[in-house]
Amino acid sequence: MASILSHRRGPFGLVSSFIGWGAAEGLTAESDADERPLHAGYGLNASLGLLAVAFAANASRNGNAWAIDIFYVGVAWLFLPLAYVAARRDASPRQRFAAVMLATVALYAVRFIREPVAFIDHDEFLHWTTANHILDSGRLFSPNALLPVSPLYPGLETVATAIVSLSGMTMFQVATCLLAACRLGFVAALFLAYRRLSGSARVAACGSLVYMGSSTFLVFDTQFSYESLAVLFVAAVILADARSRDVRRTSHVVFVIVPLLAALAVTHHMTAYFASAYLFGLAVLEAFRAPPRRFLVSSILVAAWAVSAPIAWSKAMGDPEAGYLGPVLASGVHEAANLLTFSTGRTLFVSENGYVAPLWQRVAALASVAIVCLGLSVGFFRALALGGLPFGRELIRRPGRLREWRNGSAILLTLLTLAYPVSMLFRLTKSGWEIGNRIGPFSFVGVGFVIAVGVVSLMQGRGVAWAGAFATAATVVLVGGIISAEGPRILVPAKFEVSSDSASISHLGIEAAKWSRRWLGERNLFAADRINRLLLSTYGRQDVASTLQDGYDTSDAVLAPTFGPRERELLRKVGLDYLAVDLRITTALPGVGGYFDGGDRDRDYRSPPLANSLLKFDTQPLVGKVFDDGYVFIYDVRALDGTR
Amino acid sequence: MGRAEVVLSLFAAGVCAAVALAPVPIPIRGAAALALALYLPGGGIVAVALVGRPSAETRVLSVALSIATCAPLGFVLNALHRLDAAGWAIGLCGVACLGYLSALARSPAPRAIPAAGPTHTHGSRAWRAGLLTLSVAITAGAALAAARGALSQHEYRFTDFWMVPEDVSKPSFATVGVRNEEGAETSYTIDIVARGALVDRYRSFVLPVRSERTFTVPLPNVTFAEAAPVELSGEPTDLTAEAAAEKRRQRASDTALRVEARLYKDGDRRIAYRTVWVALPPAVPPNPAPKLPSEAATDATTPQAPTLREAADQPLPSEVGMPTVRIPPRPVGSRLIPDEPGPEGTDDGPSKPRTNASAE
């Protein structure tokens, strides 16, 4: 470090050297001709890491508390050597690419080991329901009460049902293959785009590895959920745009970028808006840069298409995300504003049901944030310089150079990192936590690039110790990202946990849902808690009542201490056929804050609901109890409606 | 992309579409379907649009474009009501073929130039292949171990018990079923109880693990003749639809009959292990308008399924060797399921769901 800063004098000189103020524009070029492949031993090491992860997963299912620690050790074990070889000065571009792709495959295998036989994550059930509706009806856009916006953005489900129809495989098998293709395609596109933008395979490799520290990388963006597909489209658009500036711009725009943006518009709203903002920003940068502006017209046309396609689709679908995202965004912004005045906030590392993360996990999560911030401070101005926007004496001497950037994409990715602190702010709030989590995958596109530029600039001409330091830091960022998103819930526990999504999917609940399909038929309208309605709508093929769909919160009737006219009227209005009651929710506080939809009655619990509240249906003369497995009861409430 | 590769891809698209529609094993169909949906259409577009040597970039864009193609194609097939295997096979194969045929019509791409740089590898080819095979084997083993762990995780040991009317609109029979998920062979006894009296009993039977057994149980019918009089005097006769429905619901609530099925496990008859029931509201009169008590009396003459009393007087399918149990008429204002034990000491009193089912 001392040698890096040695050519500057004084505190300002040291700081400006560290942050890259006035850094040179380029990085050392690498030869594409170097074709040395990656040593097969790295594959063997990764497989041993996976073995440790599988051991941890089974240990967790058997109730061993140390399983989580072994899991993270396994992840670090498989990742660290690959990060090291990808960052080494003497590695060939082929070795770097292979190391990044091997890390991607291994981390996807971690996801598979986590859920090897069936879907377990909440959002997967939502989209599985939409896909089932498409398969059952042979039509798109069938309503989905669990997530009404899902059928209106059917990109993922369309592809999945196409493969199911063609292959005869189950939805889980198809999802596993499809998501593997999306994940590999996404990381490959990111690597290749970084390489195009920086001209360095080393930057590309380091940037891709840093991106894997995004909190959504390991689990959320490999779920059977629309964002998992949408991020592939975005990365492909960034790659195609970068590529088109070197070769065949028109063909890329017409045959690649426009179709990808169209598909993105019908796949995921938030990602489509991110792509709109990115391409709009590129057009603005192109318009303001000093001549020659070779790509001005095409950039404006692409930006216009990128902005108009998602808006037009949203309007055509009835503007569904306003009611879906609007309240979350408003609440998150409100809480973030309160947070800035120290009025309110989320207690970090403490789950809704009171679980406190172990010390080492808290340290790792905070260290990962610190490393990212350090990396951004090192890389920000260097990345701007790489884009042709040098700060320092050159800028002071010739202010006109401020508009002479060559690489608008690099500059935009650098500016994108400003979203990272915003996402951190949102993550400190209760309502905005999800917003912060969702900003992550987009801000990290810039974060990966900027940190990689900064790190590679520092590492140029230096020994393997620097590569080792980078690999260690990248591993901490990866582990910290997983902890901040999943924490102790990364593995399925031995015991059922109340309203804790993947920890609440049990054989018992699945059997009850399957029973409903077999004995009651499909498409009956059920009311149930958050977990059982996921199972009923997928394994059971039932319709479920939800506040999102019809505005009625059936938890008011289910959790009420008595069953009076108000509760009866509520069930009558909803038009329920059956009611599924799970007595297990009386045993603990909800892991995600609510047992049902998180309505007025269903939040801020200090104790679990009373069993008597759930059993009040036993005394209703017109209510039949058609199913009992000791925990889950299914009540037939059709006769409560006097008209039926 | 070279001419040979284009021709090969064109051929592959046709074969994949044919295989996906053929009655072949699912793994083969799956491979064809994945190639058809995830690579070939995008490969066709890239072949025609991005002329040049194939590279990692064009491969990645092929995958992204293939998946992207499915969305608009899905809308077209949806409009044509052809969101099925044939529609997808024709559509995807069509897009791929269109792209590759257009690429064939263009001038061929330049040949790939072999790399001139160092290609030194660590160890021999056999050594690399061995390491790779070992890695794949270990990874597959890890995945299989995880799958085995997930499939063998059964925290709960339980018994599913159910009672479902066979015809919702006019229930004359119900299906009572038991499924054993206790993890061990288990013996069960089922009692059918109505108004606190034993109607039927299915004596001890044994179910192996993960097996089930069902029974058909005749249900009595309840008519308005058996209903307690509902006072309507002083109320307007021109009730609104909502008020009429509420009145009908109230009357049905007063006269509904609950037929319970109680499950006993392993000979323990102290408390029902599981209890389910059907609530039998009175048969709805043909005229949906609200009826006065005098009118309701005439409904009793309408031929219906056997009433509870009649049903109880007749031997039930499983009653061979069992004493016939007469059902006492329900006094007005009494509870549907009385607390006192049933006749002959066979009733175990009010059923209470047992929520502490055995768990591992």
SS3 sequence, A216-231?
CCCCHHHCCCHHHHHH
Mean pLDDT along residues A535-555: 90
Mean pLDDT along residues A419-448: 84
pLDDT at position B110: 57
Q: Which two tokens stand for residue B344?
A: 């002959």
Mean pLDDT along residues B215-223: 77
Nearest C-alpha in A relative to B99 = A255
pLDDT at position B52: 75
Instruction: Provide the b/e sequence for B108-147 (b: ≥16 CB within 10 Å).
Output: ebeeeeeeeeeeeeeeeeeebeebeeebeebbeebbebbb
Q: How many beta carbons lie within 10 A of that of residue A494, not counting itself? A: 17
* A residues 17-56 lying closer than 8 A (beta carbon) to B: 31-37, 39-41, 43-44, 46-48, 50-51, 53-55
DSSP bridge partners of B181: B158
- Asked if A629 contacts B274 with a C-beta cutoff of 8 angstroms, the reply is yes
Nearest C-alpha in A relative to B276 = A625
Could you report the predicted ipTM of this complex, rounded to two decimals?
A: 0.91
* Interchain contact B243–A (C-beta under 8 A): no
Interface test with B, best of A167, A192, A566, A634 (most B CBs within 10 A): A167
pLDDT at position B350: 36
pLDDT at position B114: 54
Between A and B, how many residue pairs show a Cβ–Cβ distance under 8 A?
359
pLDDT tops 80 at residue A404: no
Q: How far is B322 from chain A (nearest CA, A)?
A: 26
pLDDT at position B300: 36
Mean pLDDT along residues A482-499: 87
pLDDT tops 90 at residue A52: yes
Q: How far is B324 from chain A (nearest CA, A)?
A: 26
Count how many residues are written for chain A. Answer: 644
> Which chain A residues are closer than 8 Å to B20 by Cβ?
166-167
H or E stretch at A410 = helix A408-416
Percentage above 90 pLDDT, chain A: 62
Q: Which two tokens stand for residue A407?
A: 């690489």
> Which chain B residues are closer than 8 Å to A256 by Cβ?
45-46, 49-50, 61, 65
Residue A510 φ then ψ, to 5°: -65, -40
pLDDT at position B229: 41
pLDDT at position A23: 67
Q: How far is A342 from chain B (nearest CA, A)?
A: 44
Nearest C-alpha in B relative to A573 = B242
Q: Taking all residues of chain A, what is their mean pLDDT, rounded to a whole number? A: 88
Nearest C-alpha in A relative to B257 = A621
Compute the distance between CA of residue B77 and CA of residue B57 in angstroms, rounded to an integer.
30
DSSP bridge partners of B261: B192, B276
Of A642 and A295, the structure prediction assigns the larger pLDDT to: A295
Q: How far is A364 from chain B (nearest CA, A)?
A: 26
* Interchain contact B252–A (C-beta under 8 A): yes
CA triple A442-A413-B71, angle to 5 deg: 45
Mean pLDDT along residues A341-358: 69
* Interchain contact A612–B (C-beta under 8 A): no
Residue A111 φ then ψ, to 5°: -60, -40
- Whether the pTM exceeds 0.90: the reply is no
pLDDT tops 70 at residue A149: yes
Q: Which of A178, A263, A641 sits opposite B71 (nearest CB)?
A: A263
Give per-residue pLDDT as tens, A557-567. Answer: 888 889 888 88
pLDDT tops 80 at residue B143: yes
Interface test with B, best of A258, A625, A632 (most B CBs within 10 A): A625
Nearest C-alpha in B relative to A620 = B253
Contacts of B33 (CB under 8 A, 6+ apart): A162, A163, A166, A167, A169, B16, B20
> Which chain B residues are closer than 8 Å to A630 by Cβ?
158-159, 273-274, 353-357
Compute the distance between CA of residue A553 and CA of residue A544 in angstroms, rounded to an integer.
12
Sign of the dihedral through C-alpha A12, A13, A17, A22: positive
Q: How confident is the model at residue B166 (pLDDT cuts 50, 70, 90)?
A: confident
Could you give the angle at which helices A226-244 and A155-167 cross, rounded to 10 degrees? 100
pLDDT tops 50 at residue A110: yes
Instruction: Provide the b/e sequence for A350-366 (b: ≥16 CB within 10 Å).
Output: ebbbeeebeeebbebbe
pLDDT at position B53: 78
Q: How far is A394 from chain B (nearest CA, A)?
A: 36
CA end-to-end span of chain A, whole Å? 79
* Interchain contact A165–B (C-beta under 8 A): yes
pLDDT tops 90 at residue B296: no
* A residues 269-328 lying closer than 8 A (beta carbon) to B: none
- Asked if B354 contacts B158 with a C-beta cutoff of 8 angstroms, the reply is no
* Interchain contact A608–B (C-beta under 8 A): no
pLDDT at position B194: 87
Of A644 and A188, the structure prediction assigns the larger pLDDT to: A188
CA B104 to centroid of chain Cα atoms = 49
* A residues 489-508 lying closer than 8 A (beta carbon) to B: 492, 494-496, 506-508
- Asked if B249 contacts A622 with a C-beta cutoff of 8 angstroms, the reply is yes
Percentage above 90 pLDDT, chain B: 44
pLDDT at position A599: 72
Instruction: Provide the b/e sequence for A202-228 (b: ≥16 CB within 10 Å).
Output: bbbbbbbbbbbbbbbbbbbbbbbbbbb
Give per-residue pLDDT as tens, A156-205. Answer: 999 999 999 999 999 999 999 999 999 999 999 999 999 999 989 999 99
Of A427 and B320, the structure prediction assigns the larger pLDDT to: A427
Nearest C-alpha in A relative to B258 = A621
DSSP string, A515-561: HHHHHH-SS-EEE--HHHHHHHHHTS--EE--HHHHS--THHHHHSS
SS3 content of chain A, % helix, strand, coil (to 5): 65, 5, 30
Mean pLDDT along residues A412-420: 93
Q: How far is B293 from chain A (nearest CA, A)?
A: 18
pLDDT tops 90 at residue A10: no
Mean pLDDT along residues A500-529: 94
Minimum mean pLDDT among A220-224, A347-351, A497-501, B316-320: which range?
B316-320
pLDDT tops 70 at residue A207: yes
DSSP string, A346-389: PPTTB-TT--B--HHHHHHHHHHHHHHHHHHHHHHHHHHHHTT-
Residue B86 φ then ψ, to 5°: -65, -45
Q: Do A181 and B248 touch (CB under 8 A)?
A: no
pLDDT tops 60 at residue B318: no
Give per-residue pLDDT as tens, B272-295. Answer: 999 999 988 766 544 444 333 333
